[in-house]
Amino acid sequence: MSAAPGPERAAETSLPSLGVGVCTLNEERALPRLLSRLLQGADDLDRPGQVVVADGGSKDRTVALAERMGARVIASDRGRGVQLASAAEALLESEDRPEVLLFLHADCVPRPGSLVELRRAFAGRTGHRATAMRQTIVAQGRVWRMLERAANARARRGMVYGDSGLAVTPELYRESGGYPAWPLFEDVALSKAIRRIVPVDFVESATLAVSARRWEEEGVLRCTLRNIVLRAAFECGVPTGLLARWYGTFSGRGGGRLQRDG
């Protein structure tokens, strides 16, 4: 006969439930690693109760892989904003609605122990309502550590890009207006809307391992400068549809892969 769980473990089982929304487009290479971590983790406290993959029309095996690994897959119009909004609505309308929503890109994987740390941050009457995770880029070299520091400093200020793991309560998500149906900078818009209501807290103990692929594909300097230029144009009021077209010009790719650049 097994022993009853101790008081600490019993308290842990009452942590708020977690649902994860992921946007995908042709992510058959990256997605299995994320879903394996989310759905097959060794500790049930360190796994979400639900994972919703909002797919924007993948032509590869993304959908089949996600379904086979146990995620709920929904079809969506293409574009990060509309896909993440679709994932959020699916989680919010589910029979067992999660108490915390976490939004991830397909190539961003929580380190072991990070999801339970995130759940702890939202627990209790004094728990947070919106948080970001600490980013670490999966690559060796000084330039990657510089990019990490910049991303984490930005997230500590409450500006949470898609590769910093925004988590939010359902009530705050609704109150802030949720993700706009934009092709990019939907994360900036939502972060700003949330900060007008409450601070976005930074959970140092929750770490997100981020793939270096977008920098490696385009070049670190080119990718970084492109993002700076586009963000400046966005802040000056340039429409996001036009920025998405510029994005394709700067990066040498079509706007259909915008999901991959947080």
Mean pLDDT of 149-158: 96
- Give me the pLDDT at residue 129, please: 96
- Give me the pLDDT at residue 246, please: 83
- Give me the pLDDT at residue 176, please: 98
Mean pLDDT of 129-156: 96
pLDDT tops 60 at residue 171: yes
pLDDT tops 50 at residue 143: yes
For the domain that residue 214 is a member of, what is the CATH number? 3.90.550.10
Within a domain: 7: no
Domain residues for 88?
14-260
In 3D space, the residue among 196, 185, 197, 195 whose CA is nearest the CA of residue 227 turns out to be 185
Within a domain: 8: no
Written as one string, the DSSP assignment of the chain is: -PPPPPHHHHHHTTSPPEEEEEEESS-TTTHHHHHHHHHS-S-GGGS-SEEEEEES--SSSHHHHHHHHT-EEEE--SSHHHHHHHHHHHHHTSTT--SEEEEEETTEEEPTTHHHHHHHHT-STT--SEEEEEEEEES-SHHHHHHHHHHHHHHHTT---GGG--EE-HHHHHHHT---S-SS-HHHHHHHHHHTTSPPEEEEEEEEEEE-HHHHHH-HHHHHHHHHHHHHHHHTT--HHHHHHHHHHHHTS-GGGGGG--
Confidence of residue 253 (pLDDT cuts 50, 70, 90): very low
pLDDT tops 60 at residue 9: no
pLDDT tops 50 at residue 252: no
- Give me the pLDDT at residue 217, please: 86
Within a domain: 172: yes
Within a domain: 9: no
Q: Residue 218 contacts by C-beta under 8 Å, 6 or more apart in sequence?
A: 226, 251, 252
Tell me how many domains the chain contains: 1
Within a domain: 71: yes
pLDDT tops 50 at residue 261: no
- Give me the pLDDT at residue 27, please: 97
Within a domain: 5: no
Lowest mean pLDDT among 25-29, 184-188, 209-213, 224-228: 224-228
For residue 157, give both structure tokens: 């200020």
Between CA 96 and CA 75 the distance in angstroms is: 21
Confidence of residue 247 (pLDDT cuts 50, 70, 90): confident
Within a domain: 2: no
Lowest mean pLDDT among 8-22, 82-96, 136-150, 208-222: 8-22
pLDDT in tens, 80-139: 999 999 999 999 999 999 999 999 999 999 999 999 999 999 998 778 999 999 999 999
Within a domain: 126: yes
Share of the chain above pLDDT 70, in %: 89
